[in-house]
Structure 1
Amino acid sequence: MTVLLHANPDVFPADPPRDPDDAAVIAEHDWAAFSQVTVMTNHWDRPGWTDETRAYYWLLTITDEAFVAHAQQCQRAVRDLGFDEIDQRRFHLTLGRIGLVEEVSTRSSGRWQKPWQPRPRPPSTSRRYL
């Protein structure tokens, strides 16, 4: 299924790949975009924020041992480039900012602040026939 994508100046890269279903085309497109980057900004820089600014973020914590081991291998490979090393207990994927603490009501935050717990699986309905 081909999804129609449009240029968006708020994302990087702004122009989508010519074929969003072809992994090689996507990799080539992303490599071309990153090869033109001359300056990177500080990941932690938040213009207008003070030391007291707090926000809620939606994060997925990654605890898969194979993933963590591979990520640590990658971190060691780029250690000399000045990237911050991530402690193995802190691997996560940031999905998005929910909002500044003062902008999010206490009532609504109670619904999503708790850690996610998987629902118990229903008993198996499969039957074995002899």
Structure 2
Amino acid sequence: MIGLYLVSGVIGALFQLCFAALFPDQFAGPMVGASAGVFGFMGVLARLFPHREVYLLLFFVLPLRLKLHWIFWGSMAIALLSILVAIRTETGGQVAHAAHLGGLLYGAFYVAALVRKGGLMRFLPGLPRIRFV
């Protein structure tokens, strides 16, 4: 688990560095935080349990019941739109949106690679069979 968290963070940082190389005015700056690792876990959970429902507090007040796959796609859309806005308006802000996207994608691809190799079932034998097409 700690490996997934750390590698998601590193992959997220690499995504942010790639965008900083392409658009130095928008994405340059220090990176501090753990959000890419958290987004990596979110990608893993969304791929393993896409129809599991969880509760989110919208604005810390309104409870929303959403399936994990909607949270995954919503997070992906927010990260992509934030990157596009930063590029378009030439204001990068202080949030590493590309790192969030990198962590999320790594988590999703991590599960896909394990399932394709059959390795996931060795570690989680009680998990129902998952088939990605």
**TM-score normalised over the length of structure 1:** 0.22
Name the structure with the higher helix share.
2
Higher relative contact order (CA 8 A, sep 6+): 2
For normalisation by structure 2, the TM-score amounts to 0.21
